[in-house]
Chains A and B, each alone.
Chain A
Amino acid sequence: MSATHPVELLRFNTCGSVDDGKSTLIGRLLYDTKSLMEDQIEALERSADITGGGQINLANLTDGLRAEREQGITIDVAYRYFATPRRKFIVADTPGHIQYTRNMVTGASTANLSVILVDARNGVIEQTRRHTCIAALLGIPHLVVAVNKMDLVGWSEERFLEIRDAIEGFLPKLDVAKDVKFVPISALTGENVVTPSDKTPWYQGPGLLSHLETVHIASDWNLTAFRMPVQWVNRPNNPTDHSLHDFRGLSGQVAGGIVKRGDKVMILPSGLKSTVQSIWTLDGELDEAFAPQSVTLCLADNVDVSRGDMIVGLENLPGMSTDLRARVCWMHQRALTKGGKYFLKHGTQTVQAMVTSIEGRIDIRTFEHEPAPAQLAMNDIGEIRVRTAKPIVFDGYGFNRLTGSFILIEQGTNHTVAAGMLFPPTEAVKPEYDDFAI
């Protein structure tokens, strides 16, 4: 730990289209936090002269690809970085167009918070419902609805409340984060983004940046149930240090909970138990480790463990099954049909898997559930059943985003075709060797 005040990292994504002022908002945040440099502004001016008739287009700041600039649309997620004295921020700038739902899923999957932009003039449109639905599906802990272009509706409280009511009206249909904030802003003038506005005496809440700086994110990681997927077995070949001759470490990133030296743990799927003898890191041994630290565990017993196994605490055991139910976002042009065979990557394990049924499709505009569709097309969200060649040790996505998620990979082409969020296990794992404990 550094001696100075620790700086936290907040990851958020922005959903909306250029028309909602998304690029202007990001440009504003970068500019006002002095994260925009002279040569970047110069480059913007250079491109403006050629294509923009002299007008600087802040979207060019984030639209990094040639095709994006040519077509004036955002194709792919771009990541931007800025900092204030209180926090560092990673912004996933996700495109708002309908055909790019998969990019929003990508950008939102690692976010603590989503900013959903609404144009105050247009109010809640289909896209707003879609973005809110995806944020809810991905279990993003914090949501901010930024009602933008308030200057164009005369900073009308009535208009703001109308939009808030419309969104609050459909939130109960979604499994949305507990923490939803509404902020009236003008990205163009910066009011209520970085500087408070004197035109909104009726709004008591914080400005957008101030909220991003202070929102409580410490409990966004699961710290209640210890999980560590084994990534790599660490066995020095020719250790110069003799004490390391018998070193056998299990390296991985803690995906949930806390583990302490001396804790009893279980290895799944085998069900073997052991005790944590030491928690090894390059900086010395630790007394305890927590999510999402990367560590190397040494166990008291020489039990059989390899990559893909999961080490778990004896409290709050996960589920284990070869028959999984999940929500998926389908991400490939080749549609999913029943019986499709894929590789499924979950944690550090990749196994063969077959989709045994498509149980439903969710219309993300109406939130209606259509039972048993014939297929899932690109950008569809559906509910599926998957059978795996080996048991998967898992939690419900709502309980732990890391042990509750998977991707599907098409065999042969190796395309990533789906993002999956697991339903909670129907029962916790029942270890076979219950008395094996030391």
Chain B
Amino acid sequence: MTSYHLDHLQYLETEAIHVMREVAAEFERPALLFSGGKDSICLLRLAEKAFRPSDIPMPFLNVDTGHHFPELNTFRDKRAAELGGKLIIRKVEDAIAAGIAHPSPGEISRNRLQIPTLLAALEEFRFDCAIGGARRDEEKARAKERFFSFRDAFGQWDPKNQRPEIWNLYNARVNPGENMRVFPLSNWTEMDVWEYIKREQLEVPTIYFSHQRQAVRRGGQWLPVSDILPPTPKEEVRELTVRVRTIGDIISTGLVESPATTVDDIIAEIAAARVTERGSRADDKASEAAMEDRKKQGYF
């Protein structure tokens, strides 16, 4: 190598590895949030890069809403096993049964109920840090969030009072009961994630690629028909060629009509895309401050 210069993916990679190693070194009991989605798949590869040949020095944690795409959970379990990692799953259903999470009357979405479930899991295992795959380009409240995002004893984010983050000197100090959410992919864009998946030849769940699925039109999006989301008598069920661009719960994830069958196809599709990734998530459209409000309560 004659040019001592990193390209943009190599730069993002070394930044993320540095962040992960800071977590391993500075926290007593960190966990890595792994859902099986594309962002957390990148996180796991970065963890390998940061810590091999040693074991990845933290367990994987997933909050299962009970509304996951089955393909996602299958992939999650398989990938965690391949890496020899310990996978901890905490279910929203169990949290409801235990009186930790309280659904409002008629509340179908599990989105809000993830929050108490996650906080209870952090408390149960006394995790002082959770690494997540959130990116700043996803949403404008996230655009303001730090790599090391401090949460008080109630798990709350205080956006007006964040610790300044200067150079690559991350302040990882927390008092007992407080914790940190750390986002190594903060500076990655959706395109960067797919380019990295391509460069690293990472396997992703099949639902990211084009497939046939039954869907109904609701709120301007195509939603997948499932047991949890049966069509109403008035709705017309259509068989479409679709893929998912971002994975949320099966009841709120909009399907994108797409012929993309390879990672290269997806990259080409994103390059030409005219809506953002989160444009297909009903949970974010609720209000302009939907994400900020959820994060203040302890969301990922």
Contacts and interface: CB of A to CB of B under 8 A. Distances in A.
A63 B14 CA distance: 29
B102 interface: no
A347 B14 CA distance: 15
Given A232-B24, A407-B166, 17 more contacts: A6-B5, A9-B12, A37-B274, A65-B292, A67-B159, A77-B144, A79-B143, A88-B189, A105-B166, A237-B55, A253-B14, A253-B18, A292-B14, A294-B50, A307-B25, A348-B22, A414-B173
A232 B21 contact: yes
B283 interface: no
Contact of B140 (A61, A88, A102, A258): A61
Interface in B149-190: 159-160, 162-169, 171, 173-175, 186-187, 189
A373 interface: no
A227 interface: no
A32 to B, nearest CB: 15
Contacts of A69: 288
A64 interface: yes
B18 A402 contact: no
Contacts of A66: 288-289, 292
B199 interface: yes
14 contacts: A6-B5, A46-B288, A47-B288, A65-B289, A106-B164, A110-B167, A281-B49, A282-B49, A288-B1, A292-B11, A292-B15, A292-B18, A405-B169, A416-B171
Interface in A388-438: 401-402, 405-407, 409, 414-416, 419
Contact of A236 (B3, B25, B53, B137): B53
Given A37-B274, A79-B143, A81-B189, A292 B6 contact: yes
Interface in B4-46: 4-15, 17-18, 21-22, 24-25
A14 B24 CA distance: 33
Contacts of A106: 164-166
A282 B48 contact: yes
B98 interface: no
Given A38-B274, A401-B167, A258 B21 contact: no
A252 B164 CA distance: 23
B206 interface: no
Contact of A78 (B18, B21, B50, B144): B144
Given A37-B276, A102-B164, A281-B49, A65 B11 contact: no
- A contacts with B: majority SS: mixed
B288 A43 contact: yes
Interface string A333-371: 000000000010110100000000000000000000000
Centre residue among B1, B164, B186, B288 by max chain A CB count within 10 A: B164
Interface of B: 1, 3-15, 17-18, 21-22, 24-25, 48-55, 136-137, 139-144, 159-160, 162-169, 171, 173-175, 186-187, 189, 191-192, 199, 273-276, 278-279, 288-289, 292
A81 B171 contact: no
Given A65-B141, A103-B164, A331-B164, A236 B279 contact: no
Q: Which of the listed residues B48, B171, B187, B273 has the most CB atoms from chain A within 10 Å of its own CB? A: B171
A218 B187 CA distance: 20
What 5 pairs between A and B have smallest CB-CB spacing?
Answer: A64-B140, A6-B7, A39-B279, A294-B17, A9-B8
A214 interface: no
A87 B76 CA distance: 34
Given A247-B53, A405-B169, A258 B276 contact: no
A20 interface: no
Given A1-B7, A61-B140, A218-B5, A405 B18 contact: no
Interface in A226-273: 231-232, 234-239, 241, 244, 247, 249, 251-253, 258
A35 to B, nearest CB: 9
Contacts of A293: 6, 10, 14
A62 B288 contact: no
A190 B21 CA distance: 43
A21 B164 CA distance: 25
Interface string A306-348: 0100000000000000000000000100000000000101101
